A and B are shown apart, each in its own frame.
Chain A
Amino acid sequence: MNGAATQALGFQRGYRWARANLFNSWFNALLTVAIVLACVRIALPALDWAVVRASLNAPNIAACHERGGACWAFIVDWYRFLLFGRFPYEEQWRPGVVIVIFLALLLATCDRRLMGRPLAALWIIGLAAVGVLMWGGVFGLPYVETDLWNGLPLTLILAVGSIAFSFPLALLLALGRRSSMPAVRGLCVLYIEVVRGLPFIVVLFMGVQMLPLFLPPNVFISKLWRAEVVFILFIAAYVAEVVRGGLQAIPRGQFEAADALGLGYWRQMRLVVLPQALAISIPPLVGTFIGAFKDTALVTIVGFFDLLQDASTGMNDPTWRGAYVEAYAFVALIYFVFCYFMSRYSRYIETRLGKGRR
């Protein structure tokens, strides 16, 4: 076949595909045209702003404005504060390594060869290393108090800590809510309903600002851990309801078969019921966790310098005043990367669990 004929065939194929997928009814044809127009009207100017006329190198915001595009020079100038906040400047390699450790742990979590105990061990070692790096005070690292743990490491510590510790608590709450013992069930229902009935900001404010007033004067819990505990307790109530949904989907026959084999309650839950219930609950579970990750940004209101607060601080720099879109875009990108990762990870687990079952 000669070139022209191949090309003609290609066009024909393309035309058929377009007819079948884009223009197969007048309504879809209209939608196609509208979407293409919208893309042209929105995406092109955005691209123009973010890439074509953007400045990576500029002395100040006025110089950026002359080119008329995004002022990424602000991010270049401020990225260390955006990521690490007020962490002592010379020591900022430490939170930098912490971010790398978190990313490495997340990647390791995707490797099915590490599933189970090796992965748990990796996480424990990784989190211990995070603690050492952030606190210091050993191995010749200067001590850094938790108030100076800012930016992305703070966001990650809050998120990972609250997700990891709320999960076991949530399992107990969910099982308790289905318990045959009225006292246990009542307490779990009360806890879940009260927590879910309160706005998160109120609980956060009370936990962080008011709790110290009720503690004995010689007891001091740093603000970071007060916030962490509030997150754990709060998220657990939501996760518990998600898990309960999964538990309710398990047929009675599964419980009966486990009973008949002589498995006691805890083994029955651990070996038979929870593996199935959690597998069903993965999509809403990850949804809840993604929400929790983004909710960490709310610590801004009780005076934490998390990623978002760092960005707000940066954009008040007189040199770069007005670079708020750039600052928020940078923060949004970081949030998106982590949330998208979680979302993909949930899909991956689902397909893996789906193999050969049911």
Chain B
Amino acid sequence: MSEARTAPEESRPMIEMRNVQKWYGEFHVLKDVSLSVQRGERVVVCGPSGSGKSTMIRCINRLEEHQQGQIFVDGIELTDDIRHIEAIRREVGMVFQQFNLFPHLTVLDNLTLAPIWVRRMPKREAEELAMHYLERVHIAEQARKYPGQLSGGQQQRVAIARSLCMKPQIMLFDEPTSALDPEMIKEVLDVMVALAEEGMTMVVVTHEMGFARQVANQMIFMDHGEIVEIAPPATFFTTPKSDRTRLFLSQILGH
């Protein structure tokens, strides 16, 4: 894999997208997307639905395939090579809108599955690790339950812990609070803020602008498959350059 790495360890961005293009049939979902995320950086992506923001972050761990351009994750280029894809997926955790916990396994087994089968960790060690992360997301007492017995907010926290058990370098969040009842959003955001404070590299697709203001280093606004604006939150929220950004912000912050 070393030959695929491009730059020295420290200076190299964790995620780099160069002129990425993607089509669904005739529909152009990603138009010339370029983006660079440094180690420890928190990027929040927002934009109207259908703007391609989910598709973009799903390209980072190859849940979606891009058709043109290049994507590098921790210096490894994403190609058809299954070894590259697996290497990248080991380093990139993902949290989904619908949680996607495995309903036939207990919470604990959900967490230990990948460490045991992908990282080849002994079961005891994997369970200790799992309990550690369950405590971090304040849900250790639910370890023996099945996902279906938990509330949405609890399930999402389990899903975050499940990703963390693989000790990823990067965490991707695809609208992690959109499927939650309002009273449960905060418990999930609190966990994400704590994660950000520990220096995790994060790319978060969300409409939670309070969260974005609190943790983001960079704000990205996408519309119709292209990145319209990239700016630090201070300027992004106060003096957006583009009219489209200004319109979007007025719509979601207006009430």
B103, A358: Cβ atoms closer than 8 Å = yes
CB distance from A243 to the nearest CB of B (A): 16
Kindly identify which residue among B103, B114, B159 contacts A262, using a CB–CB cutoff of 8 Å. Answer: B114
Give the docked Cα–Cα distance between A251 and B117 (Å): 22
CB contacts between A and B, total, < 8 Å: 69
Q: Is the CB of B148 within 8 A of A261?
A: no
Contact, CB under 8 Å: B166 / A261? yes
Judged by a CB distance under 8 angstroms, whether B149 is at the interface is: yes
Which chain B residues lie closer than 8 Å to A357 at the CB level?
103-104, 146, 148
1/0 per residue, CB under 8 A from A, across B51-79: the answer is: 00000000001110000000000000000
Chain A hits for B163, CB < 8 A: 260-261
B104→A262 contact, CB < 8 A: no
* CB contact list, A90-137 vs B, under 8 A: none
Q: Which chain A residue shows the least CB distance to B109?
A: A271
Q: Mark A30-66, 1 if CB is under 8 A from B, else 0.
A: 0000000000000000000000000000000000000
Chain A residues near B102: list those with CB within 8 A.
254, 257-258, 272, 276
B145 beta carbon closer than 8 Å to chain A:
yes
Q: Are A263 and B100 closer than 8 Å at their CB atoms?
A: no
Interface presence of A259 (CB below 8 A): yes
B90 on the A face (CB < 8 A): yes
A326-358 vs B, Cβ < 8 Å mask (1 yes, 0 no):
000000000000000000000000000100111
Query: Which of under 10, 10 to 19, 20 to 34, or 35 or more describes the interface residues of A?
Result: 20 to 34
The answer to the question of B113 belonging to the interface, with a C-beta cut-off of 8 Å to chain A, is: yes
Q: In chain A, what residue has the closest Cβ to B101?
A: A257
A268 to chain B, nearest CB (A): 10
**Bound state CA distance, A254 and B96, in angstroms?**
11
Cβ contact within 8 Å between A256 and B96: yes
**A-B pairs, 5 with minimum CB distance:** A257-B100, A253-B100, A261-B114, A260-B94, A262-B89
- Please measure, in the bound complex, the distance between the C-alpha atom of A259 and the C-alpha atom of B118, giving whole angstroms: 11
User: Is A297 on the interface with B (CB-CB < 8 A)?
Assistant: no
Q: In whole Å, how far is B87's beta carbon from the nearest beta carbon of chain A?
A: 9
- A260 contacts B149, C-beta separation under 8 Å: no
Digitize A230-273: 1 where CB-to-B-CB distance is under 8 Å, 0 elsewhere: 00000000000000000000010110111111111001000110
Closest chain A CB from B60 CB (angstroms): 10
Interface of A toward B, CB cutoff 8 Å = 251, 253-254, 256-264, 267, 271-272, 275-276, 279, 353, 356-358
B125 at the interface (CB under 8 A from A): no
Interface string of B91-115 (1 = CB under 8 A from A): 0111010101111100000000110
Whether B86 is near chain A, meaning CB under 8 Å from some CB there, is yes
For the complex with contacts A253-B100, A263-B117, 5 further pairs of A-B residues with Cβ separation under 8 Å are A257-B102, A258-B102, A260-B63, A261-B114, A262-B86
Contact indicator B104/A263 (Cβ below 8 Å):
no
Which of the residues A260, A275, A358 comes within 8 Å of B93, measured between beta carbons? Answer: A260
Complex CA–CA separation, A356 to B100 (angstroms): 17
Contact flag A356-B148 (CB < 8 Å), given A261-B114, A272-B102: yes
* Residue of A with least CB distance to B148: A358
